[in-house]
Structure 1
Amino acid sequence: MSGETMPKRRVAIVLFNLGGPDRPESVRPFLVNLFTDPAILRVPGFIRPWLGRLIAWRRTKPAMENYAILGGRSPLLDLTEEQGRSLEAAMAGDPGIEVRSFIAMRYWHPMSDEAARAVKDWAPDEVLLFPLYPQFSTTTTGSSIAAWQDSCRKAGLSVPTTTLCCWHSHGGFAMATAQLVRRAWQEARAALPEDVPLRVLFSAHGLPESIVNAGDPYQWQVEQTVASVVEKLDMPGLDHIVCYQSRVTPQKWIGPSTEDEIERAAHDKAAILICPIAFVSEHSETLVELDVEYREEADKLGIPGYFRVPAQNSDPDFIAALADLARAALGSGRSLCSFAGARQCPKQHGDCPHARATAERRQVAVKEPA
């Protein structure tokens, strides 16, 4: 009838993130959850529970020391909640929809079981799964999707769902990141003598080479992110490199490592500006590993200047990019989409979720009777 207001479509945006301990006593169980995840510790299932707990036990003391620097807890939940509220505000004026954000942390509360129950209680018309990992990896977004699907089955939550798998080269994200890099570069350059070169280290969390060789697209996507950010920077001749931090197992990891690049900069007598390129919130790997541990190493090596680009957190341009991503995903008509709609990864990356979805559809088609 004319004059009646159409009800708004209720959209639950579920933000995936890693999670972090909320008090010192949470450090050990957080690590157990992390290292017993089959996406992380890729060993036979009968070995994983005890091996994961052994690794967690060995890493508890250094992890507690790191979190003590942060006041005994991770800031990640607070920052993710703020991002969720900011995203809601950015989409509040969108016609025809009512958006509410929910947080599903992977290894500490609120985890996907809690989030699925909360989403069911809110009774949305549609769900958007939105990883706060710009680049897809089976160890991050892939693991979170699997946990979410399991939680939905347990909660009895069945709602039309769109999954945004990656947004590594989204223009708004790249521009927002480039603006942060440019400001930090200008501040660093102003603090250095003119004859001291300044090198940008785009540092991402590393992965074992075996995972990448098996088809994980993460490294390729990280490199695409850096290429997009550098293009937006438009600084000809910018000295920069992609490197990887946070190695935690003895096997060979993708490189070059951030530590090796700090050593190379020391040899070249170059100052460094480190940009966390796979993290969009401050947490232990930026606030401790980059700001404390690597800074101390740089000082020991005589680096002429050590600077760091802040994470995006709730930077307004970054939040605007998240809102654009959410709108595009919701309007894509796809149950699985990248930032550009269709699959973006080259064919050799068989662990791309689009490739997996295609393989699963083919298996179903083969099994179905003619």
Structure 2
Amino acid sequence: MLNMGGPSTVPETHDFLKSLFLDRDLMQLPFQSLLAPWIARRRSPMIEQQYEAIGGGSPILRWTEHQGAGMAALLDELHPTTAPHKAYIAFRYARPLTDECATRMRADGVKRAVAFTQYPQYSCSTTGSSLNELYRKGIDGTLSGIEWSVIDRWGTHPGFIEAVAQNVERALQKFNPSVRSDTVLLFSAHSLPMSVVNRGDPYVSEVAGTVQAVMQRLGYSNPWRLVWQSQVGPRPWMGPKTDAALKGLAKLGRKRVVLVPIAFTSDHIETLFELDHEYCAEARESLGMEVQRAESLNDSPVFIRALADMAAQHLKDYSAGKISPTSVQMGLRCPGCENATCGKQKAWFAKGGE
């Protein structure tokens, strides 16, 4: 189960940030080996305060463990020919890192594995970076001797869409029936720098596809927009910004909103602090808005079943020779890609990790 991860305790924040800013698959900075630790030291005090505000650390590991255990138990029933199944977590910037995941897999004698991204929509900056790290561990012998296949994106899977739609419906129930259908749905996703978008990264279009599928499931019951959060630094990022959209809606007299995290599979700092503590609080207190936030997927049984269904279908189709180790879409590099590792990684996984 591949994801960015987050510091489980406040003291882990600095190491998390340093690992993030050192990742050249995510960003390329001048003198990165020197600049990244400096940025991490500078930002750590502020980010530590944010993690304190949400309970003393990120809950993403706890929720991923819960989702993984539930998925594996269901998989034993759905696809018994490959049972028993076990979920391993490989976070990119926080424990358990890929090295720790690899150690556990070796100790268990794993010979067959599915790299299952927990980012519903593909980006070279997220899923791509995690797959690059797995590839590096494969060719250096750390994860040798394992047959790999990949579930690289699933932003329109019916079970995922149903889980999100149910959470939106629960949030809408908190509004008076007389104004419920007029409430605006703001689907918020982590933004991307325009430099990444412009080189052909598919993330923006895939997030839009998810939003369209959710609205279709909801019967297009409400007006909606896709907005973007978590921009960092002075460079242009994909917009509009979530907080700017809230302010704009307030000026237009549209003061009832449901914020929907659409690119996250569990609560973490972007939902619990940025959406809840910053955007929702400001909208209510300063803009006079009535704002609800749709719950994250966390322990949703519908979502956990969706994960198991995806994995079971993948295993069935792969065993029957109906699919290759990687999807057709994963094999296509961004038109503006300049990362040689990306191409090598795709070729390695396409051969099952050989």
Q: Provide TM-score, normalisation by structure 1.
A: 0.85
Give me the whole-angstrom Cα distance separating, in 1, the residues matched to 2:198 and 2:28. Answer: 14
Aligned with residue 9 of structure 2, among 3, 13, 23: 23
Please, which runs of 5 or more residues in structure 2 have no aligned partner?
348-354
Deviation at 1:178, TM superposition (A): 1.1
* 2:309 aligned partner: 324
Give me the whole-angstrom Cα distance separating, in 2, the residues matched to 1:43 and 1:66. Answer: 25
Please, which runs of 5 or more residues in structure 1 have no aligned partner?
1-14, 362-370
In the TM superposition, 1:351-362 aligns within 5 A as none
Deviation at 1:321, TM superposition (A): 1.0
Q: Which runs of 4+ in 1 moved over 4 A?
A: 344-351, 356-361
Q: Provide TM-score, normalisation by structure 2.
A: 0.88
Give me the whole-angstrom Cα distance separating, in 2, the residues matched to 1:141 and 1:359. Answer: 12
Label 1:182 to 1:148 Cα distance change in 2 as closer, same or farther (>3 A): same
Give me the whole-angstrom Cα distance separating, in 1, the residues matched to 2:169 and 2:343. Answer: 39
Aligned-residue RMSD, C-alpha: 2.4
Give me the whole-angstrom Cα distance separating, in 2, the residues matched to 1:294 and 1:319. Answer: 28
Q: Aligned pair 1:239/2:223, yes or no?
A: yes
* 2:119 aligned partner: 133
Q: Aligned pair 1:335/2:319, yes or no?
A: no
Aligned with residue 170 of structure 1, among 144, 149, 157: 157
Q: Aligned pair 1:91/2:81, yes or no?
A: no
In the TM superposition, 1:6-85 aligns within 5 A as 15-44=1-30, 47-85=31-69
* Count of residue pairs brought into register by the alignment: 335
Q: Aligned pair 1:309/2:299, yes or no?
A: no
The percent of aligned pairs where both chains have the same amino acid is 33
Query: Is residue 189–residue 198 contact of structure 1 (8 Å, CA) maintained in 2?
Result: no
* 1:257 aligned partner: 241
In the TM superposition, 1:115-154 aligns within 5 A as 115-152=101-138, 153-154=140-141
Deviation at 1:66, TM superposition (A): 0.4
Label 1:298 to 1:116 Cα distance change in 2 as closer, same or farther (>3 A): same
Deviates further, 248-257 or 294-303: 294-303
Give me the whole-angstrom Cα distance separating, in 2, the residues matched to 1:345 and 1:255. Answer: 28
Query: Is residue 266–residue 301 contact of structure 1 (8 Å, CA) maintained in 2?
Result: no
Give me the whole-angstrom Cα distance separating, in 2, the residues matched to 1:344 and 1:161. Answer: 14
Deviation at 1:26, TM superposition (A): 1.0
- Larger radius of gyration, structure 1 or 2? 1
What amino acid is the match of 2:102?
Answer: A
* 1:181 aligned partner: 168
SS in 1 for 2:76: coil
Give me the whole-angstrom Cα distance separating, in 2, the residues matched to 1:245 and 1:303. Answer: 21
What amino acid is the match of 1:209?
Answer: M
* 1:364 aligned partner: none
**1:271-292: CA deviations, max 9, x gaps?**
1100000001001110111111
* 1:7 aligned partner: none
Query: Is residue 209–residue 254 contact of structure 1 (8 Å, CA) maintained in 2?
Result: yes
Label 1:96 to 1:19 Cα distance change in 2 as closer, same or farther (>3 A): same
